[in-house]
Amino acid sequence: MGIRIYKPTSAGRRNSSVNDYAELTTSTPEKTLCKRIKKTGGRNHSGITTTRFRGGGARKIYRIIDFKRNKDGVPAKVASVEYDPNRNCFISLLHYLDGEKRYILSPLGIKMGDLVESGSVCEPKPGNAMPLTAIPAGIEIHNIEMTAGQGGKLVRGAGIAAKIVAKEGDWVTIILPSGEMRMIHKQCRATVGRLSNPDHQNVRIGKAGRKRHMGRKPHVRGKAMNPVAHPMGGGESRSNGGRHPCSPTGVLAKGGKTRNPRNTSNKRIIRRRKNKRQGQLVL
């Protein structure tokens, strides 16, 4: 696990770095757990662009991940640790004793040959999936369900983890990596451990072409456009826009609430996420 820096043979090489992928054991995915996904380029079914600056990029094959971890009582052996182009953490291929194969998000420190399992009676060690009621307080967890049986929704990024801080009645209080503190039902499942690839945040892209390989097109500032293309465009010489930041359709970009007010999980939030300068709790 680490970052590799090449000799600065060009400007792009000088400012870029890559992951050395020392933990990976194979470069060939399991074909039975792969499927082709069609690119959208940020367009909907009518061909209208709904998300700007997306398109192109290398072709990807989607790996089917088991987010539910509902195969209880059957131990599984870690057959390989692999790279997944669809996410920033690594994935692990499990071979269950009954012959079934599944992909899971790879926890930090898991190795080929380790045994993992799921259920309420297994040991709380990295890679095991358990209901929150069976996981001791203070343990790091990831891939957390918000509704029992739905599959993990929270904490699925590289190198992050949440922590259980309290249990009361049917609810378990956890602290998310953003600093948000919320209550989750005790029957919801989570996987023990911190996610793999913590050095992902230290990788430098280095050049624009590498971002195009990821399917991201150049992001043009609104005030750099002409008035016909953006509400903040135009003006003699350089300007600061002349109005509050907004989208090309005039929707204000700052200060508005983006969370759905009809989301019933909002009432389970004890403390919202904060800015780090205001004392965010960093795990």
Q: What is the pLDDT of residue 241?
A: 83
pLDDT in tens, 49-97: 999 999 999 999 999 999 999 999 999 999 999 999 999 999 999 999 9
Residue 1 binned pLDDT confidence (cut-offs 50, 70, 90): low
In a domain, 221, yes or no: no
The CA distance from 144 to 160, in Å, is 12
In a domain, 75, yes or no: yes
Out of 24-38, 112-126, 154-168, 258-272, least confident range:
258-272
Provide the residue range defining the domain that includes 135.
3-200+259-278
Residue 237 binned pLDDT confidence (cut-offs 50, 70, 90): confident
Calculate mean pLDDT across residues 116-125.
93
pLDDT in tens, 213-231: 999 999 999 999 999 999 9
In a domain, 13, yes or no: yes
Residue 260 binned pLDDT confidence (cut-offs 50, 70, 90): confident
- What percentage of residues in the chain have a pLDDT greater than 90? 85
In a domain, 19, yes or no: yes
Q: What is the pLDDT of residue 261?
A: 83
In a domain, 224, yes or no: no
User: How many Cβ atoms are within 10 Å of 2's Cβ, its own excluded?
Assistant: 11
Q: What is the pLDDT of residue 15?
A: 92
In a domain, 30, yes or no: yes
Q: What is the pLDDT of residue 140?
A: 96
The CA distance from 175 to 138, in Å, is 10
Residue 204 binned pLDDT confidence (cut-offs 50, 70, 90): very high
Residue 273 binned pLDDT confidence (cut-offs 50, 70, 90): confident
In a domain, 227, yes or no: no
62: domain CATH number is: 2.40.50.140
**Does pLDDT of 279 surpass 70?**
no
The CA distance from 263 to 12, in Å, is 44
In a domain, 250, yes or no: no
* Total domains in the fold of the chain: 1
pTM: 0.89
pLDDT in tens, 134-185: 999 999 999 999 999 999 999 999 999 999 999 999 999 999 999 999 999 9
Amino acid making up residue 10: S
**Does pLDDT of 281 surpass 60?**
no
Give Cα separations from 84 to 11, 29, 74 (angstroms). Answer: 28, 9, 25
Residue 266 binned pLDDT confidence (cut-offs 50, 70, 90): confident
Backbone angles phi, psi at 61, to 5 degrees: -110, 130
Q: What is the pLDDT of residue 231?
A: 94
The CA distance from 231 to 250, in Å, is 7
Q: What is the pLDDT of residue 275?
A: 59
